[in-house]
Structures are given as structure tokens and as C-alpha cells.
Structure 1
């Protein structure tokens, strides 16, 4: 039976420390499957509830990745995505030397809701392009991209092959952005989001709302939902963005 750290505090904190020690030492490398709850209970001589809480908190903190029906794995270092600068996630991932893959979940033309009409500043109802794409890094889902696109500016959006060209590249050529509005919020994953991002329901995520303009016309209204495996940030000179 393995020995838990001889530190003060509740048992689940000692279990967390035991697991973190193995990760930090390299005994359990990134993407390696860690022992199951049952195995840890047997190894450490603690209750299943104690182990479950330790694994849940380590997952929430980004140290572990739990995939329903598969197991728990050591999380890789968090990829870093720029927040202010508008860049292509496919290029970001490949620049890090990682494998990129996209699943096209939806590509259609639809009549917008009243909320979307307001977001586009449309005076009359008109169809917009709509896509939903699931982005993967090293075969792990990291971001759900949902876009609504002004069909006056990009009329063939819903007819593109986004397995051959990214939405970013197509829109840059079709309707170059001149202004951007971004709002980011912390959310918890609902069941569908959790399923798509291979998370547990209720896991923390980041939701980035973005609108872009070409001239004075709203070009796109977007929602990007990032797994907690991903980090957003930026570096820029003061005065560069106003």
C-alpha cells in the first residue's frame, strides 16, 4: 500500500498531493492514464468518496483530464490562445507542433432569431450563414466555434468546404474585419457542451462572444467555447487597441 504525504489537512488534500507529486516528478507523464478510482482506493487505503473529490478538484484545476468511459489522464500543458489579436486556431495549434483537426458539425443558412437580428443591426429579416465546428489539438477537443455570418458580405459561406479552408481564412478574404468587439465569460459546461469537449457536466469553460465589422456593417456574430484545457491571453503595446 502506498504512503500518503504526512501533512496536516483532510485526507482528500493528501490524495491530491500524492497525485501531484507523481505528476511533478514525471513519474506520471502528460497524457498518461492515472490509476482508476478503484485502484487508488486500494493503493492508498482511503474511501472512494475521498478519491473522487481529489480527482474532481485536480480536474477542475487543470491537472487532470477525465474522459467519460475511458479514464483519467495527466493533462498536457495548457495551450495558449491570443485574446485580443484575431488569429486562426488551426495555425496556432500547428505552430506549437501539435496535430490539428476540425469536425464540421453544422453548415447551413438560417433565418435569425430576434436576438441575432439585433446583434447584426438588421432593419429587416434576412438569412445568415451558420456554422458549428469542433476544433481538436492532438485529437483532444479544445474549442467549439459557432459563427453567424452576414450573407450580404459572404453570400456563399454555407457552401464552403471548411475541411479544406478554415472559416478564418475564408472570412479574411471575403469580408476583412475593421473592428472587433469581444466579451469573455466563465461558464460551466452543460451536458451537450461537456459531451462535445469530453468534459464532465458542470466543468469550467470560457465563452468568448465576438462581433466583427467590415466598415460600418456587422460581418459576423460568434460564440467560441473553450475547454478549461485552453488558456486565453494577449500581449500588446498600450495604445495599439482603442
Structure 2
């Protein structure tokens, strides 16, 4: 890869990532950090330059994952979305999030990467309950970021429309990434993190470093009775 090549890594710190339903083994935040730091470890051991936007400058070190983890522990409150404008061509970035913001907001945030010719790899971390919407009867939903509440008398009546909207959001993001030459991977928190790491490795090595694209509010809620987080509509 080119001498200037850096792999940037980022895991979403927003409150929605704390969600963990009873069907999941870990929270979305825990899974996102595991994925990002595991990639940092693998890349560091192979001599790659890595960085975390808003936290570190690009560096090379055998203990890269440990260094990033230590800085995250002492960083305090990090921005919900870091400024990506300094990331330039010949770089890759791995972005791990639930991507539950409105699609147009996500695209607007990431558009600078496309304009700079950066190759991005999006990993959507999903809780199984967010896909299946297993709620029924009287259910209270709480937005983890605003505290707004919504009480549904018969939550099951919302299920079909919710699942359509959830799938449409993912479909639109997947198609957008494909058009840009980016990768989009889904990792569920009731499955192994290694599944996503294997797919990510394949995406990052499939076309080599020369394959670059040309310039071209979370709205969810938490169901009461489940653990903190949100089921997103």
C-alpha cells in the first residue's frame, strides 16, 4: 500500500449504542468497540498506520490497539460524529455504528469521504430486537438521547411498518455504499464478532489500495422492560 496510507477506525459512542435486548449477548457499544479495537490490533501487528478521528493522529505501533483503548478511557465525552474532513485519498476508514440516524444525515456526514476519494467500510451493529420488533401489548418506548417517551397500547400493531422502515434504511445505505465502491457489513449482537471481521478483511483486501471511489437524530426508542437502548422506528 502507498506510504501515505492510513486506516482510520471509529466506533459510535452515542447513547443508542448502549442498547442490549434480552436476546443479545452484548450491547451494541461493546460489540462496536471490540470490532474497532480488534482491527486496530490486526493492523498494528502488520505494520499499518492507524488512527482514530478526533482522538489520535496516524501512528504505527505494535501495541496500537492498547494505545487507542487507553486514550478512549481518558478522552471524556467524544463528539457523536467526528470531523472527517482531514482524512484524505489513499486512506481507508472503518466506521462501526448502528446507523440509525436518518439516512440523509448519515450520507451528508460521510460525503466528505467520498469527495476526498477515501475508501470507507461501514459495519452496522444490530441488536436482534431492532430487526424483529418483538414487542406486544402496552409498551413504553423512550428515546435514549432526548428522553422523549411514547406509549403504544398495542405495540404489535406497529411491527409491520417498523420492520419495513428498518429494512428500507439498511437497503438505501447498502446501495449507496456499493455505488461508491465502499463495503457495508451487518453484525448482529447475538452472533460472533469474528463474522464481521472476516467480511471486513475480505472487503479491505479484495481490490487492493488502488480501488478508490471517484469524487462523486436518532429517531428510535427503548422498550420498557428491556435493557437501556432503543428499538428504532
The TM tier, using the shorter chain, reads under 0.3
TM-score by length of 2: 0.26
Higher strand share: 1
For normalisation by structure 1, the TM-score amounts to 0.25
Larger RCO, structures 1/2 (Cα 8 Å, 6+ apart): 2
Structure possessing the higher radius of gyration over alpha carbons: 1
